[in-house]
Structure 1
Amino acid sequence: MGNLTGSLKQLALQKFKKNFWGVFSLCFIVFIGFVSVFAYVFAPDNSQFANQMHLTIHSKAPGFTVNMLTVPSGFKIQQNRFDKLFFGDKNSDSEIPITDYHIKNNQLIYKEYASDGLEGVVKTIDLTQFHNVPIANYIKEKTFLFGTDKYGRDLLSRVLVGARISFFIGFVAVFISLVIGIFMGSMAGYFGGKIDVAIMWIINVTWSIPTLLLVIAITLALGKGFWQVFLAVGLTMWVEVARVVRGQIISAKEMQYVTAARALGYTHYRIIVNHILPNIMAPVIVISAANFAAAILVESGLSFLGIGAQPPMASWGAMIKDHYNYIILGKPYLALIPGFCIMSLVMAFMLIGNALRDALDVKG
């Protein structure tokens, strides 16, 4: 039996490797996951939530370049390397876009950037604020590859940091749905009778409520926030898993290996966990891939409605909400870039789900 199981796994792996779009989607998802984990390493703006605002250069086109003056705040927050790597730089140094500068009488005189042909304001600052470090170290040419949003924040950095929410909500939501769905489906399918009726009643009631409406209700009950959204989305996706597991167990519990396990006196727990579930996980894996995509879409919808991740936290859905009106104002990229990110990640999960379905189909 062990060799047979191993050979079936190897056969499924070989079939999956032959599916170009499945392998490509897996590589793409791994890449997005790596980028989302180390977002602050790749983001040009590594401040917390990539929230460094420059209102004078708002809504600039991709590739916009400007000289940026960094003014030390004098107030430093003690951060270890791990915290800075995964949660961004919490120091409050301010950045000022400038067009010209010169030094006179131990003072830095600079002209702020002004768009639309306007003349920038000339300001002065004492050089002692720069701690006797050459001023050239604080003035750098900065290029915004994706342009800037309506608050003058680097759009590329916001997209990279926002990938965390869209990516990790899939893992959290699918984990919650698997834990609840497998437990409820196993109880209903294996024991049947009144337990099955009660659980199916809960499933049908939950299923009858529109997903987005149920998520909104749970979110309002738990409060707005990062983890509340994750929990709310996960609590709405377990019904599909439970129905699939229940149907598979109803069919599997009449098989000869289950009858033999009962005859040997094995406990119900051991029969379900060690014998039935490993043989019915193929459709559960496929539906989990679909739930990944659904979780990303639901979170994006919640952020668009303003009850998802809260500002200043970056989220692809919130970015679309902030800039969807720019589509008719001649700057559609502000909404289309995060929209394309959502579409590509959802498409990748759907393609990998199709590839897993084909690979795990023993009849194929």
Structure 2
Amino acid sequence: MNLSIANQDPGFKAQFLYLPVKIQSKQSSWDKWFFGKEKSGELIPISNYRKEKSTFFYRPFPLVDGPEKSLDLTEYYSPEGIKSKEYLTERTFWFGSDRFGRDMLSRLVVGARISLMVGFLAVFISLLIGIPLGAFAAYYGSWPDKLIMWLINVIWSIPGLLMVIAITLALGKGFWQVFIAIGFTMWVEVARVVRGQVLSIKEKEYIQAAKVLGFSDLYIIIKHILPNIMAPLIVISAANFASAILIESGLSFLGIGAKPPTPTWGTMIKDHYSYLIMGKAHLAIIPGLAIMLLVLSFMLIGNALRDALDVRKV
């Protein structure tokens, strides 16, 4: 966080004094991929500098004149490192910097990881719950079907975003709670699709033949029914993926999603939407465009899969 370079325009370049951390904490590969690599040192933006032997004199950005600050480089670098100027680095902020001086592009990339992970986990949870319930209700019918359909209709009547907010508040604000809440609200659509498909397949001749041969109900559902309903499941999964990204962004914008400083696209819009009328509209528009493009991509993928897997066109 460098407040001295906050709210810079896209393409802004700055020179930094890099001071490595003497003792670095261990970070797992999962956290490194998911949340980004932890800072290995401190970056101090500088306007100008000079060096006398091992003493480094500099003026912090954006000061051009005035008193200089000094630093003994031997506390951080070896003589070889001082000679090769490892303590100096230059960076370009292609999308500018936010109100805390953080690189917008870096936060956008890490936010993309979180949005994609939300989509994958939400779809996985919805399939894990929706497929067994939908298949069980359609295959056995009678009171199990009535009970499950009653549950589906009750949940279906509650607005999705309101349900997610309620579950999130019940589980507590946090990162993984959002994943679970979104997944628990999307299984209804999967269950309805699975139920409709199983109802149309279970009376087929090959299903009746499998029953006559003595195969168990579980074997018939897994080996003969589910493989034949994969096409609509893939399509609904792509649509749910896009919906999960929108819901997560909305929760983050409302302050219910991941907690700062975890970068999410919804949080980035929340932090900078007021800048739309302050001459820094790109701070809110860039993450908004990222959400739009990612959601649009998965909606187009879902439409393409629906057309490609539609057996009625064969």
Shared topology, TM-score over 0.5?
yes
Determine the C-alpha separation between the residues in 2 that align with 1:160 and 1:230.
Answer: 19
**Cα offset, 1:89, TM superposition:** 3.6
Determine the C-alpha separation between the residues in 2 that align with 1:254 and 1:121.
Answer: 86
CA offset digits 1:172-195 (Å, max 9, x no partner):
111111111111101111111110
Whether the 8 Å CA contact 2:34–2:110 is kept in 1: the answer is no
Residue correspondences, number: 310
Question: After the TM superposition, which residues 1-364 of structure 1 pair with which residues of structure 2 at under 5 Å, given as runs?
Answer: 53-78=1-26, 88-91=36-39, 93-104=41-52, 106-114=54-62, 122-131=68-77, 132=79, 133-134=81-82, 136-364=85-313
User: For residues 158 and 206 of structure 1, do their structure 2 counterparts lie closer, same or farther at Cα, with a shift above 3 Å needed?
Assistant: same
Pick 1 or 2: higher relative contact order, CA cutoff 8 A, min separation 6. 1
TM-score scaled by length of structure 1: 0.81
Determine the C-alpha separation between the residues in 2 that align with 1:139 and 1:255.
Answer: 72
Provide the aligned C-alpha RMSD in A: 1.9
User: For residues 300 and 65 of structure 1, do their structure 2 counterparts lie closer, same or farther at Cα, with a shift above 3 Å needed?
Assistant: same
Whether the 8 Å CA contact 2:171–2:177 is kept in 1: the answer is yes
Amino acid at match of 1:57: I
Amino acid at match of 2:262: M
TM-score scaled by length of structure 2: 0.93
Counterpart of 1:30 in structure 2 is none
Amino acid at match of 2:11: G
Determine the C-alpha separation between the residues in 1 that align with 2:249 and 2:202.
Answer: 40
**Cα offset, 1:169, TM superposition:** 0.9
Determine the C-alpha separation between the residues in 1 that align with 2:149 and 2:65.
Answer: 69
User: For residues 126 and 251 of structure 1, do their structure 2 counterparts lie closer, same or farther at Cα, with a shift above 3 Å needed?
Assistant: same
Unaligned ranges ≥5, structure 1 = 1-52
Whether the 8 Å CA contact 1:181–1:238 is kept in 2: the answer is yes
**Cα offset, 1:254, TM superposition:** 1.3
User: For residues 249 and 300 of structure 1, do their structure 2 counterparts lie closer, same or farther at Cα, with a shift above 3 Å needed?
Assistant: same
Bigger mean CA offset, 189-198 vs 219-228: 219-228
Whether the 8 Å CA contact 1:174–1:292 is kept in 2: the answer is yes
User: For residues 86 and 242 of structure 1, do their structure 2 counterparts lie closer, same or farther at Cα, with a shift above 3 Å needed?
Assistant: closer
Determine the C-alpha separation between the residues in 2 that align with 1:89 and 1:359.
Answer: 40
Whether the 8 Å CA contact 1:98–1:110 is kept in 2: the answer is yes
Determine the C-alpha separation between the residues in 2 that align with 1:271 and 1:217.
Answer: 38
Amino acid at match of 1:71: L
User: For residues 281 and 106 of structure 1, do their structure 2 counterparts lie closer, same or farther at Cα, with a shift above 3 Å needed?
Assistant: closer
User: For residues 287 and 88 of structure 1, do their structure 2 counterparts lie closer, same or farther at Cα, with a shift above 3 Å needed?
Assistant: closer
Determine the C-alpha separation between the residues in 2 that align with 1:294 and 1:322.
Answer: 22
User: For residues 124 and 146 of structure 1, do their structure 2 counterparts lie closer, same or farther at Cα, with a shift above 3 Å needed?
Assistant: same
Whether the 8 Å CA contact 1:108–1:124 is kept in 2: the answer is yes
CA offset digits 1:35-59 (Å, max 9, x no partner):
xxxxxxxxxxxxxxxxxx1110001
**Cα offset, 1:104, TM superposition:** 4.0
Determine the C-alpha separation between the residues in 1 that align with 2:26 and 2:218.
Answer: 50
Determine the C-alpha separation between the residues in 1 that align with 2:21 and 2:204.
Answer: 71
User: For residues 72 and 205 of structure 1, do their structure 2 counterparts lie closer, same or farther at Cα, with a shift above 3 Å needed?
Assistant: same
Determine the C-alpha separation between the residues in 2 that align with 1:339 and 1:104.
Answer: 48
Determine the C-alpha separation between the residues in 2 that align with 1:224 and 1:119.
Answer: 47
Amino acid at match of 2:160: T
Determine the C-alpha separation between the residues in 2 that align with 1:81 and 1:288.
Answer: 28
Determine the C-alpha separation between the residues in 2 that align with 1:163 and 1:138.
Answer: 31
Amino acid at match of 2:211: R
Determine the C-alpha separation between the residues in 2 that align with 1:98 and 1:327.
Answer: 29
User: For residues 277 and 106 of structure 1, do their structure 2 counterparts lie closer, same or farther at Cα, with a shift above 3 Å needed?
Assistant: closer
Whether the 8 Å CA contact 1:72–1:129 is kept in 2: the answer is no
Determine the C-alpha separation between the residues in 2 that align with 1:203 and 1:82.
Answer: 36
Determine the C-alpha separation between the residues in 2 that align with 1:348 and 1:259.
Answer: 41
